[in-house]
Homo-oligomer: A and B are copies of this chain.
Amino acid sequence: MPRHCPTRTSSILLLLTLLLVSTTAWTQAPSLKPESAAAQAALAWTNSHHDQLIREFSDFLAIPDVAATPDGLRRNADYLLAELHHRNVDAQLLTLPGSPDVVFGRIDTPGATHTIVFYAHYDGQPVTPSDWDIPTPFTPTIRAVDGEQRIYARGAGDDKAAIFAQLTALDALRSAQLPLRANIRFVWEGEEEAGSPHLEQILTAHSELVHGDVWLICDGPVDQSGRQTVVFGARGDTHLAITVYGPHHGLHSGHYGNWAPNPAMMLAQLLAGMKDANGHVLIPHFYDGIAPLSPTEKAALARAPVNDGMLMRAFWLGRTENEPRRLLSLLNEPTLNINGLSSGATGAHAANVIPPTATADLDLRLVVGEDWHQQQQRVVDYVRSHGYFVVDQEPTQDILTTHPRVAMIVRDPASYNAVRTPMDLPIAKEVIAAVQSAATARGQGEVVLWPTMGGSVPLGSIVRAAHTHTITVPIANYDDNQHAANENLRLQNLWDGVETMAALLLMQ
Contact = CB atoms under 8 A, between A and B. Distances in A.
Contacts of A203: none
A319 interface: yes
Contacts of A456: 254
Given A350-B340, A481-B250, A322 B237 contact: no
A260 to B, nearest CB: 6
Nearest to A398: B316
A180 to B, nearest CB: 33
Interface string A351-371: 111110011110101000000
Contacts of A125: 351-352
B317 A401 contact: yes
A393 interface: no
A221 B255 CA distance: 9
A126 interface: yes
A347 B361 contact: yes
Given A271-B268, A338-B262, A346-B341, A401 B256 contact: no
Interface string A230-248: 0000110100010001111
Contacts of A254: 234-235, 237, 335, 365, 453-456
Chain A interface category by residue count: 35 or more
Contact of A345 (B248, B258, B314, B340): B340
A130 to B, nearest CB: 11
A297 interface: no
A95 interface: no
Interface stretch (A12-20, A326-334, A437-445): A326-334
B360 A319 contact: no
Interface stretch (A2-10, A108-116, A402-410): A402-410
Given A272-B268, A454-B252, A351 B327 contact: no
A264 B265 CA distance: 13
Contacts of A308: 259
B340 A355 contact: yes
A70 interface: no
A404 B319 contact: yes
Given A268-B267, A454-B257, A341 B342 contact: yes
Interface string A298-319: 0000000000100011111111
16 contacts: A128-B345, A241-B347, A249-B315, A250-B485, A255-B331, A257-B335, A258-B335, A264-B271, A268-B268, A268-B269, A269-B272, A316-B397, A317-B400, A338-B355, A347-B359, A347-B361
